[in-house]
Amino acid sequence: MCGRLTQYRGIHDFVAVLSIPDALINHVGDAPLARYNAAPTTQLAVLHQHAQQLHADNLRWGWRPHWARDRAAPINARVEKVAHGVFFRAIWQRRLIVPVDNWFEWVDSDDGRQPWLIRRADQQPVFCAGIGQFPAPGEPPREDDGCVIITADSAGGMLDIHDRRPIVLSADLAREWLDPATPAPRAEQMLLFESEPSETFEWYKVSKAVGNTRNQGPHLIEQVA
């Protein structure tokens, strides 16, 4: 996963697909998010759950433990290591969903690096499994809060675009992932065996303008020849 994504719907559009009945504690706002080119270290809208209440917060994309200040904060966590490695031990059970509309990957070509957009073929929201450090209700944000998206090996035709992909969960599994009562072994099982297959997605070339993070707007997600 190359590290660029979009969140342009409103947070309520994402939450409606999850069908979680309790009221949303919304710190993101009601307007469309309008993030057409979100890059690492920027704020992402994330969903997490406390005591059966769903919370929407803005959280920095990237996290590292306090003892790893000598390296850049990773934005992704490999599914092969995330549940049992030392690096993410402190946040492994602090599960969240990063709801996105699509994400971008780059492929080397004769004309330079060509960006591709990947989205669900049904154009429904993409629920990326993630973990992070975020404040509990009533607590102020902290400087080292942040999140990472969990990734796995690509398969099928998606391998032509990139060898890694975010782990995307169906709405039903996303609800289970968010539920604090879901045991850690069950959460790991979902990541390893139950994510959405490559057939769920479609992809196409987009403008190279997406390579500049200062560029924003719906023209970045339009298909090019």
> For position 142, which CATH number holds?
3.90.1680.10
Q: Is 147 one of the catalytic residues?
A: no
Mean pLDDT by 10 residues, the chain (225 residues): 91 95 91 98 96 93 95 96 96 97 93 94 98 89 94 91 95 97 97 97 97 96 95
- Give Cβ neighbours of residue 135 (< 8 Å, ≥ 6 apart): 57, 141, 142, 145
Based on the number of CB atoms within 10 Å of its own CB, is 193 exposed (0-12), middle (13-18) or buried (19 or more)? exposed
Give CA–CA dist 158/220, Å, rounded. Answer: 20
How much is the mean pLDDT over the chain?
95
For 60-84, the pLDDT digits (tens) are 999 999 999 999 999 999 999 999 9
Q: Which residue has the tokens 């973990």?
A: 131
Q: Is 105 one of the catalytic residues?
A: yes
Q: Which of 80, 105, 128, 147 is catalytic?
A: 105
Boundaries of domain holding 53: 5-221
Sequence letter at residue 154: S
132 neighbors 82 (Cβ within 8 angstroms) = no
Q: Tell me the whole-structure pTM to 2 decimals.
A: 0.96
Number of domains in the chain: 1
Q: Which of 2, 176, 196, 202 is catalytic?
A: 2
Q: Which residue has the tokens 């560029």?
A: 215
pLDDT at 110: 84
Taking each continuous run of H as one helix and of E as one strand, the counts in the chain are: 4, 14
